[in-house]
Copies of this chain bind each other. A is one copy, B any other.
Amino acid sequence: MPSYIFGKIELDDTQLQKDLEIVKGFPRISEEYDEFGTGVWINNSLWNASQDATDTMYRDFDYPAKQTEYGRQLPYISKLVTENFNLEYLKMVRTRNLIDGMVIPHKDFVELNKPKNQYFRVFVPLEDNQHAFHSDEDNVFQMKKGEIWFLDAAIDHAAVNFSTESRIFLCLDFAFPGDFHPSEIFTNKALYNEQIKPTIAKREQLKPEAVEHMIQSLSQIIDKYNFKDVLFMLSKIHFYKDVPVSAAYDWLEEITRRSGKEELLDKTQKLRKYMIEKRDLGERFSINDWKELTA
């Protein structure tokens, strides 16, 4: 099912702004290195399993999440969380920021076999950014300040921020012991509201001859050194042209096929499988494991 909006919280801008200034002052503790994104990702744990603010990895545990030192520094956001959300099933709360970057189209959980519908990831933007988008198999959309969104990471999805401006989201991870209704994440079920209209990006058409032109041009210049640059360039296009989120993989396959460079075509096919089809548990894949020039 695609991502959807199911509530909205009224935010007090004055109080929120004070907390966001504190968030922006947190040290930028980077995530585990991820080859499939560019730009600056910042995650800060406000509640988690270990109470350690530098621990940003989501995992299973069977006790209530604990507030970290970062969480305790944010009075308004803390109130927002504890007053609106059901702490019983809340496992993790993070602030997340993506600046001048992108995560290329991918599925999460494709390597796992357990039912994924007991995990429920919720985003609440704390800032608006006109240049930041998410996408899934249905749409390119913009989550707006205070909106409450379910983001389905089990289908093809991607994210981008074209600007160098901040885009802070609250990310809340819930885990339920069995079936549940999304309204169960709220302390007050009346907050659940399916009637809020999402902001869907109006994308331009991309003419078939423009696609052909691009594929032909890039097939002439693609090589091992710029393969990743081309991948990211292509992955970005669906955010502003009306093509499927995974179109980049189709184009890249055709570009590398026409290039006559077998190694690049092979890499593309493996990349597509890894990102949006099937990964084995623990399987690792690297875009940049070519034998490069050595001095």
Which residues of A are in contact with B by a Cβ distance under 8 Å? Answer: 27-30, 33, 35, 38, 40, 42, 54, 99-100, 130-131, 133, 140-142, 162-164, 199-203, 213-214, 217-218, 220-221, 225-226, 229-230, 232-233, 236-237, 239-240, 286, 288-290, 292-295
Contact = CB atoms under 8 A, between A and B. Distances in A.
Nearest to A232: B229
A233 B226 contact: yes
A267 to B, nearest CB: 14
A200 B295 contact: yes
Given A217-B221, A221-B214, A226-B236, A292 B33 contact: no
B221 A221 contact: no
A100 B37 CA distance: 11
Nearest to A42: B30
Contact of A162 (B27, B38, B163, B292): B292
A99 B295 contact: no
A225 to B, nearest CB: 6
Given A131-B294, A201-B295, A294-B130, A33 B99 contact: yes
Contact of A54 (B27, B38, B202, B294): B27
Contact of A288 (B33, B163, B199, B232): B163
Nearest to A240: B293
A30 B38 contact: no
Contacts of A131: 292, 294
Contacts of A130: 292, 294-295
Contacts of A226: 233, 236
Contacts of A164: 33, 35, 286, 288-289
A220 B99 CA distance: 28
Given A29-B29, A213-B220, 15 more contacts: A27-B29, A30-B42, A33-B40, A33-B100, A35-B164, A100-B288, A130-B292, A163-B292, A164-B286, A164-B288, A200-B295, A203-B293, A225-B237, A225-B240, A229-B232
Contact of A201 (B220, B288, B293): B293
Nearest to A203: B293
A73 to B, nearest CB: 16
